Amino acid sequence: MTKTKVDCDIAYRNYVDNIQALSNILEGRPEPAYVKHQNVEVRRCLARKGFYLKELARDPDESVRRIAESALNGPA
C-alpha cells in the first residue's frame, strides 16, 4: 500500500494530539472525554518509552516528525 500525503498528515496530526495528551497526563491536567481507543494505546506506548519523553523535551517538533515517520514507514 502506498502512503499518501493525506495519510502522512493524518498520522502527524494524531501523533501531535497524542503527545499533547501525554503532556496533559504527565502534568495532571484532565483528558477530554472524546478520546479514541487508538489514541489511548499510543499514549500508553509513549509513556512506557521514557526516551521519547527526553527527546520531546529537547526538540518537540522534530521528535513528533520522527515518531510519525517511523509509524508510517513501519510494517505495512
CB contact set of 53 (below 8 Å; sequence gap of 6+):
22, 26, 46
Supply the pTM of this predicted model.
0.38
List, in sequence order, the alpha helices (H) in the chain.
Answer: 5-26, 37-48, 50-58, 60-73
Looking at per-residue pLDDT, the higher value among 33 and 67 belongs to 67
Please give the pLDDT value at position 3: 62
Please give the pLDDT value at position 76: 47
Q: Is the pLDDT of residue 40 over 60?
A: yes
CB contact set of 73 (below 8 Å; sequence gap of 6+):
none
Looking at per-residue pLDDT, the higher value among 62 and 76 belongs to 62
Please give the pLDDT value at position 42: 64
